[in-house]
Structure formats: C-alpha cells, structure tokens
Structure 1
C-alpha cells in the first residue's frame, strides 16, 4: 500500500512501523466509537437487569461522555510533558481494564464508576490519536490517513447499533463491554512495539510545572457544558421550560470559560498555548469544525424525533433511515483525504460544506409523508458533504501548527467536536421546549423542522468561516 511505502526525505517512521502504529490507533478508535454508540441501545436492558430507573440508567452513558470530555485538554497537555507513548499506553490500559470492570459490574454504582474510568482512558487515547498519526506519517500522506480514520469512525457508527442489537439478542449486556478486552490487548501489544520512545527534549516546556489551575478550569468548563446539554434530555425537556439547573450549569460554564481564557494568557506554560491560535488558518479551521459539529449535533438529535414521533417509524426503521449518512462518509472520506494531500485542503473542505448545507436544506424541507428512498437520498447527500469536509479540515488543523504542538492541535480537534455536539444537543432541547411551551402541545413536526433550520444556519456559519480562510490558503499554501 502507498500509505506504507517509503520515499527519500520522508519524515516520520518507516513504512512497516507506521502500519503497526496505525493498526493500534485505529483499533483503539474503533473500540471507543463502538463503546460510545452501542451502549445507548442497551440502556433499557441494563436498567431492568440492575433494577434501576431510566433516569439513573442514562448515567451509564453520560458518565463516560462526561469524564472523557473533562480530560481531553488535560491529556493533550500531559502528552507534551510525558510523550505520546506513555499517555497512549496508559490510557489504553485503563480503558481495557475498566471495560473488564464494566462487564463484571453487579451494581449500578460500580458500573458508573467503571464507566468514569473508561471515559478517562478513552480521553487519553482519543485526544492524541491524530497527533500520533501526524508524528509517524510523512506530511504527504497526512490527509489520506485522516480520511481513513474518518471512514473507520463512520463505518463504526453505522455498524455499532446493529452489532449491539445482535449481541443483546444472543447474549447479555455485559458482553457489550467484554468484547473490548481482546482488541484492547492486541492494540496494547502493537502500540508497545511500534510507538517510538521520545527522547528527552531540550524545550523548557517539558521540564515546566504542569498548569494545574488551567487543567482544573478546563475540566470544569467542559464538564459543565455536558451537564447543561444533559438538562435538555428526557423528562426535563418534556417539562416545556428552561430549568434552573440548566441556568446554573450554563452560568458555571461561562464563568469557567472566562477564567480559563485568562489563565492560559497569564500562565508561563499554559495548558493550551495561545500562540497556536495566532495562526489564522488553524483558528479558522477550528471554528469551521466547531460550527459544523454544532450542525451535525442538532441533526443527529432532531432526526430520530422526526422519523419516530412525526413520521411514525419504529426505532429499527429509524436507524436504517439514518444509515445513508455514515455510508456517504464511507464513500467519500478516503478520496477527500487523498485529494487534500495534493490539492487545496481548505477548498475541498469548503466544497464539502456546501454539499452538506444543501443536504441539510433538503432534510429541513421534507414533505409531510416522504418515502424512505426520499429520506435516504437526502441523508446520503449530508454524509457525502460531511465526509468531503472532515478529513481535509482535520488535515488543515494539524498541518498548520508546529510538530511539537501537534498534541495540542489534536486536543483542540477533540474538544471542538465534543463541544459542538453538546451545543447541538442543547440547542434541540431548547427549541423543542420553547415551542412546546408556546403551543401547549406535545412534539410536532414544526418544532423538529425548526431545529433542522437552525442546523442549516450553523452549517452556513461554518461555510462562512471556511470561505474566509481560502484567501489565507492562497497566500500561504500548506
């Protein structure tokens, strides 16, 4: 394969070593995506087996997301001090062992505790995975390998619900976690043999004290955003008004955001170096990613309501209607990554966003009784557009920072993805709650379509950010 062929002057690792690192990183990514997606379908079964309420069972999923989000920036910074190898192997070990702990859990408290540990381990690997790929692959292949990574995530997203349902039908919910153990051990062996040991750096940053206040503020900021988004799920959204709990979490997130911004500007060795954001192309790529993931987060939450509550499809049929979206990403992402290595990554990602906007407009204008084919084709257009955008934009982010800042860029990439999806989920909750309060009725098609139009607006903002960087890219191509 060309991904593992060597050329004179290539940086990174030799081809055969790149193959082992890529296998370890992508196996770990596959486990994390499966674990985060399959669990949702099992929540009713887990609640029944452990004899808990549905509200408590939601925390079997939320505990993982919350702990992972709170630690993303922390591990990105720690990898600078201790190296990718130590952080990745430690995180993968914790993820694998806590998966075993989840499978052996006999009480809800034990399961939630194991899920928190699993989220911490997942954050350690996911926050630096793109940086590891950049460090071992030459720049000429960066877009291609990021495209394959996007393909893997999309494929996992499409297959995970089906695999989870099959496991639940044949076995117990514990096997949803037990299946991580063997792949986790294989990934540990591959990563232990292939990840290079980093030499001690002469950069003072490696010897500096860790920015503990910045780490704490980062964790509070991301955690409070997740909690604010969680206030608009389930019963709280059904109440039809904005809760005081949501206001409290929102205030905490805004206050911690201001404090965190001040901290990284004043700290000698901040958790995230502000100088990194002085590169206009990196900053615009990050803002483009944030706006696009807000749009995707809105759509991912709104569409199941549209399919099931408005059109009357079953949960299984709803999942099948959604499948064309990840299929579109699978079809286009590898090609988009390859194009980004030889053509203009900002131009390709901007064109992809244009297709994404068109697809969202098609979904927002669905008629009252559309056919399954009509819904599927419109979802496919969204997937093709997002797949064309994602890997070139990720390449743009990683290639516009110095190599020693790659882990920071990787952490920012993970943060804007998580932040965007959480804002999107919260936006849907606010829209549905406000419209239900105004009409004094339950969920109807107008509220869901309004949420989809907000997704269109967010994606249009991402297009504006992306277009604004084309001039910078033309002046100083990557």
Structure 2
C-alpha cells in the first residue's frame, strides 16, 4: 500500500472521496428503507398479502448477506475502489429493473440483483473510510459515516412520502439513477487507488459457496418459520445449515486468509460489538417494517402522513451520531452503547403502549426517543468494530460490520412476518414488544464490553 494512504488522503481529495462514499451509501440505505412506507401500496397493486410483501424488503437484505463477505474479500484482493465502482454500476442498472417490474416475483428477483450491488457498496465502505481518514481522526470519520446513514434513513420516509403523493411507487427506485451517476464520477476521480493483495491471497470459491449457503439457509429457515412453511422443510434447512456451517467454519480455521474472519472474532471486544450490532438492528427493523401497517391500516393515516411520522426516528439518530462520534474519544463505547440502547428500548416499549387513538405528538416523542438512543449507540459501536481490528484486516472488519447489520435487519424483517401471522390483529404491537426485548439484550451485551480495552490495534 502507498505510504501516503496510511496517513489518509490530503484534504481536497478527502472531501471528494467522502462525498463519493456518502452518495453510494445513501443509495444503498435509501433502498433498504424507502420501500417500507410503500409496502402496503405495493402489496395491494401486485395482489400480495402483507406477509408476502415483506419479501420486497427481505430479498434485498438476503442477497446482501450471502455476498457481503465475498465482496469484502474481493476488495482486499482487487482493491476497495474497484469493487465500490462496480457496485455503483450494478446498483444503478438493477434499480431500473426494479422500476420496470410488474409482479411480485419479478420485483423480488430484481431486488436480489440490486442486493448484490448494494453488497459491493457496503462491503468496502468502512475500509475505504479507514484509508481516507488519518488514524487520529478515524472516530470522526466513523461519526460522519453514521451521520450519512442516519441522513439517508431520515430522507427515506420523507422522499417516499413525497414521491408517492405525486407518482407511482416505481419512481422510488428510479431516484437511484442520477445519484449513482454522480457517485460513480466522484469515485473514479477521488477514491484512493487499488490496494495490492497480500502475497498468496486468493479468492476461495468453495468458501464463497459455503458462506452463501450458510447465511442463505439461516435466513430462509427464519423466514420459512415466519411464513408458516412445513416444519419438516424448516428442520431440513436447519440440518443443512448445521452441516454446511460446521465445514465452513472448519475450512476458515485452516486458511491463511479466511473469507469469514474467524481470527477477528477471537478479539473479545470485536465479537461483543458484532453481537450488539445484530440485536440492535433486528430491533430497529422490527419497528420500522411493522409501523407503516399500523399507521395506515389501523389508524387510517395516509402514505404521506406515515412517512412524516416515521421521520423523527432517523432525524434524532442524525443529530446524535456526530455527538457520539466525538464522545468516543473520552467515553468507553460499551457505556455509550449501553445507555443508548436502554433509551432505545424505552422508546420501543413506549410505542407498544400507545393509546387507542394516539395524536401525532404521542407518536413523535416516542420515535425521537428511539432514534436518539440508536444514534448514541451506532457511531461508537462502528468505530469499535473497525479500530479493534488490525489495519491490514480492514476489509474483513468492514465486511463483518455490514454482515452484522444486515443479518439483524433480515431477522427483524422476517420476524415481522412471523408476528403478523401469529397475531393477526395485533402484529405491530407484538413486533414492537419483541423489538424492545432485542434492544434490552443489546444493551446488556454492550455493557459487557466495559471490561475490554478500546485501544485500536496496529
């Protein structure tokens, strides 16, 4: 690696590089949340049930999960910049495919392909940030990254509401095209040059296949249980998961450059931070996917009103994320995360206990509480995951960060379908109670990190 990159990019180039990252991640995050508001409408137009429409969200997440670690490994070999640029191109093309879809199977397939593009963007995102920013400013860089994710989440419901008020849901996906073109131009000009792979490092195809099967079977079994599929089929998937997962992990332990970074999971603060991330994002997705159905179907709110009522959560996260990014220099991430997740859990339980006919204020202050707690947790947790790994393993750490987030979100989305099937008339209420439980568990796991050192490794 070029020695100058070890200390980050010079300021003019750094601004252009972080803008390229911001736009790309904005697209990927927008497509994870922008469809949530429109799910009832899409389900109605495509003649799908609410539980079936969850696949519009879940297929995108599953595609990212099964390919994220492979993409991050390719980034270590061929360069983070190249993988990121290819992801931008694929994401734009498949966004057009989504907009042209006229059936649930077609849209689901398009979302799978779009997920592969999103995986390329997310897999090397934080690895690029570690190259863009000097080590002493990494906390600020991760804070900015969390801010970008929060802004994108905040814009998602509002943009969705605005588009749906004047146009078809298909335009929700077309918005990616102009953003992607600008991001690609910036990426080609400003992102750091490709990294050279370590001697002997090569892409292991059997590991990639086993990785996809392991995570794919995991999400398929959870989703199948949620959808009420045959118990024997689910048991078969779990059995296959156990066998393939065993040989997958066993193979990774023998490789000098493992696809699944099992060596990083041996670092206590790294593995605890990954566990915290999975639980917290499952809680977030349980709430954000189930709430639109409650607001529209139960309370009779319009799509525009639904989008606006969901927006306070990410706006509060957007405000808290940069503050938490600066606090990490003085306060342990375990303490910040524990406090933030406890606040988030309080907000989720408060949402589950909404009065029969809540006013907008009743909903808004609860959403703010959830978002502020989540923002206090996110930046320090991401910083800990990246900085606790050695610098030469940034790609693996970045891939694990994204995998944990998407695994939690996919489990959350699948669990919404399960709650809707188990509690036909109170699906959202059950989802919010479960979300609060996940946030509580995450707060406990986060507090366990207090005994671990937070010093970054070389």
**TM value normalised by structure 2:** 0.87
Where does 1:159-238 land on structure 2 (aligned, <5 Å)?
Answer: 159-198=155-194, 200-201=196-197, 203-204=198-199, 207-231=200-224, 236=227
Equivalent position SS for 2:329: helix
What is residue 271 of structure 2 aligned with on the other side? Answer: 283
2:320 alignment partner, one of 332, 337, 346:
332
Is 1:390–2:378 an aligned residue pair? yes
**Alpha-carbon offset, residue 133 of structure 1:** 0.6
**Does the CA-based 8 Å contact 2:90-2:117 persist in structure 1?**
yes
Aligned residues of 1:242 and 1:433 also touching (Cα < 8 A):
no
Contact 2:61-2:409 at 8 Å conserved across structures: no
Equivalences for residues 14-413 of structure 1 within 5 A? 14-41=10-37, 53-54=47-48, 61-103=57-99, 113-198=109-194, 200-201=196-197, 203-204=198-199, 207-231=200-224, 236=227, 245-308=233-296, 311=299, 313-413=301-401
Which of 432, 451, 456 aligns to 1:471? It is 451
Deviation at 1:72, TM superposition (A): 0.5
| CA displacement at 1:200 relative to structure 2 | 3.3
Deviation at 1:406, TM superposition (A): 0.9
Contact 2:61 2:410 in 1 (8 A): no
User: 2:22, 2:429 → 1: CA distance?
Assistant: 36
How many matched pairs? Answer: 452
Deviation at 1:171, TM superposition (A): 4.2
Determine helix, strand or coil for the equivalent of 1:473.
coil
Query: Secondary structure of the residue that 2:425 maps to in structure 1?
Result: coil
Of 164-173 and 288-297, deviating more is: 164-173
Match of residue 462 from structure 1: 442
Using a 3 Å threshold, how does the CA distance of structure 1 residues 364 and 84 change in structure 2: closer, same or farther? same
Instruction: Name the CA distance, whole Å, in 1 between partners of 2:8 and 2:211.
Output: 31
CA distance in 2, matches of 1:9, 1:111: 41
Q: C-alpha distance in 1, partners of 2:414/2:55?
A: 17
Structure 2 distance, partners of 1:196, 1:15, is 13
Structure 2 CA distance for partners of 1:146 and 1:166, relative to 1, 3 Å: same
Q: In the superposition, relative to structure 1, how do residues 57 and 375 fare at CA in structure 2: closer, same or farther (>3 Å)?
A: closer
Q: Secondary structure at the residue paired with 1:13?
A: coil
Q: More deviation in 325-334 or 451-460?
A: 451-460
Please state how far the C-alpha of 1:130 moved relative to its aligned partner: 1.1
Change (3 A) 1:252 1:428: farther
Counterparts of 1:47 and 1:300, CA distance in 2 = 17
Q: 1:411: how far off?
A: 0.8
Comparing 86-95 and 224-233, the one that deviates more: 224-233
Contact 2:340–2:376 at 8 Å: present in 1 too? Answer: yes
Greater alpha carbon shift after TM alignment, 247-256 vs 104-113 = 104-113
Deviations 1:354-376 (A, max 9, x none): 32233233334434444331222
Structure 2: gaps (5+ residues) = none
Q: Which moved more, 1:223-232 or 1:415-424?
A: 223-232
Distance between the aligned counterparts of 1:362 and 1:38, measured in 2?
24
Output the CA distance in 1 between the equivalents of 2:311 and 2:327.
Answer: 25
**Gaps spanning 5+ residues in structure 1: where?**
1-7, 437-441
Indicate the residue corresponding to 1:5 in structure 2.
none
Residue 66 of structure 1 deviates from its aligned partner by 3.0
Alpha-carbon displacement from aligned partner over 1:385-436 (angstroms, at most 9, x marks no partner): 10000011000000000111111111111111111122223334444544x4
Taking structure 1 as the reference length, what is the TM-score of the superposition?
Answer: 0.83
How many Å apart are 1:380 and its aligned residue? Answer: 0.9
Shift in alpha-carbon separation, 1:101–1:355, aligned structure 2, 3 A? closer
- In the aligned structure 2, how far is the partner of 1:179 from the partner of 1:360? 31
Whichever of the two has the greater Rg, that structure is: 1
* Alpha carbons 1:229, 1:425 under 8 Å: kept: no
Separation in 2, partners of 1:171, 1:21: 33
